[in-house]
A and B are shown apart, each in its own frame.
Chain A
């Protein structure tokens, strides 16, 4: 069964500093990998995806993620964090014909 691990419950970063939110996935053929963001009292919003191709994927709001097959990781990154980036971030894995499996989420807090 597919599984996604987000090893950090909470990530704190100062505004303007780079941020990384970690995700590792289970090996299952060619994974489809996603990042979603959840702002308070809102549903999840799609940020970016990796299906195939370039290992560095660019998404919304200046976020990017790097697919690393040897480490089975798909870490979310942003060069310069904003206070407005503070939210709950979910990594998810799919296979193209099964519903997405989500990690438990990482709460990002960007401090001014």
Chain B
């Protein structure tokens, strides 16, 4: 158990809809990262927050947004969903802005999104 909690584990929705994925980082970790895993694209970095502030941005679509709240949990909002957004969305956390003491990240078990 990594200590990172993601909800929901599974989500099925229709095209055009909006969903929110939630992540609770390990206790004490200030950084939260969102990654998207799909069969054809592998594991793609979306966005990172550190202590409530956006720290780094990757291949995140404009239809997607995220935030980190004062209690350090994070939410990833996906809107105007398309079939191609179906993927496994991972949250990871680390104690500092550059990763853990060894630079490693601690991953949740993911939220599987299916868009029909």
Which residues in A have some Cβ–Cβ distance to B below 8 Å? 32, 34, 36, 41-46, 49, 51, 90, 94, 96-105
A51 touches B42 (CB 8 A): no
**Beyond known contacts A94-B99, A97-B97: 20 more, CB 8 A cutoff:** A36-B107, A42-B109, A43-B2, A43-B4, A43-B90, A43-B107, A43-B108, A44-B90, A44-B92, A49-B103, A49-B104, A96-B98, A96-B99, A97-B98, A98-B98, A99-B56, A102-B35, A102-B42, A102-B45, A105-B42
A99 touches B109 (CB 8 A): no
Q: Is B48 an interface residue (CB 8 A)?
A: yes
A32 touches B103 (CB 8 A): yes
Please measure, in the bound complex, the distance between the C-alpha atom of A100 and the C-alpha atom of B98, giving whole angstroms.
9
One of B58, B103, B105, B106 near A51 (C-beta < 8 A): B103
Number of residues of chain B lying within 8 A (CB) of chain A: 25
Most buried by A among B58, B98, B109: B98
When distances are taken between beta carbons in the complex, the residues of chain B under 8 Å from A104 are 41-43
Interface of B is mostly: loop
B4 touches A34 (CB 8 A): no
Annotate B42-82 by CB proximity to A: 1 below 8 A, 0 otherwise.
11010010000000101000000000000000000000000
